[in-house]
Amino acid sequence: MMEINKLRVGGLLLPSNILMAPLAGYTSYPFRMLAYGLGAGLCFTEMVSANALKYQDRANKLLLFTTKDEPIKAVQLLGGSPAIMEEMAKSSLLEGFDLIDINMGCPVPNVFKSGEGSALMLDMPRASAIIRACKKSGKPVSVKCRTGIREDEMFAAEFARMCEYSGADMVTIHGRSRSMMYGGTPCYQEIAQAKAAVSIPVIANGGIFCAAQAHEMIERTGADGIMVARYALENPFIFSELTQKPCGRTILDILLDQMELAAACYDESFTLVYMRKLASYAMKKRKGTKKYKAQLYQTGSLKELQELLLAIFS
């Protein structure tokens, strides 16, 4: 069994070592608040482009929505220019955030081709400069990366050492190379070697789709904690299962609460899109829900959506 501990990251003390991954389209403020309430120690915004923020892109600024109620505020920044990353890290836009996470793991082709995300693993001097630039904000900085670029060339330990040397306070390693994208068995040994190579916390990510796999990840890597990704959308109770934090709510309770919170923070259009996606994940392994899938995506108002949620999950 994995130990559930508090975790120190720079000057922050996280309430648990179970983290929620940044997920584009999902980890908006409502979902982060849900995960924190169920026992997550740290949750991140969706990936935010530093370039887009610099040019006042409205959609990217919306990703930064938070309130005083969010226990720890962590933003994930994507960028390839040390100067722009420093400017944004120190900007008033991120003033209210407690931690900056740098995306050095995104494998998506257009991100990779632009020299951002996992492409930074091929340019350690630039990756190091970006970490040092973000540290000038005075905030703790973490890095999310992969085990390498190709399966036949893994270098997680070397990359983690560079991160620590450059001032990173924590590193999260997705246990797959860039070429593996989101499939295949995680490379436990690579994460274990990275953990042995540094003194900062190492978080293990990838291939965790139940509590047993979370325990296995810790057992096989010796990591300081784990990061759950898409499985948390399907089963948000994973946080309370792992931390033993009492919940006492059903998936219907959670979905209705999420809809209410999203509607209070965003417009109806955003709320409908977000809730359709979240409900779709919640329906995944629920018998007899297939017939509702088309209806879910045809709902045109929050009232319609609420009625459908009651029909599906009651």
Catalytic residues: 106
User: b vs e for 191-215, b when ≥16 Cβ sit within 10 Å of the residue's Cβ?
Assistant: bbbbbeebebbbbbbbbbeebebbe
Burial class of residue 131 (count of CB atoms within 10 Å of its CB; 0-12, 13-18, 19+) = buried
State both tokens at 210: 């139940």
Q: In one letter, which amino acid is 165? A: Y
Backbone angles phi, psi at 73, to 5 degrees: -105, 115
CA distances from 214 to 218, 221, 222 (A): 7, 11, 12
> Mind giving me the DSSP string for 272-304?
HHHHHHHHHHHHTT-TT-GGGHHHHHH--SHHH
Q: In one letter, which amino acid is 78? A: L
- Strands 12-14, 7-9: parallel, antiparallel or unpaired by DSSP? antiparallel
Question: For residue 230, which of 3, 16, 31, 6 has the smallest C-alpha distance?
Answer: 31
CA 216/CA 199 separation, integer angstroms: 22
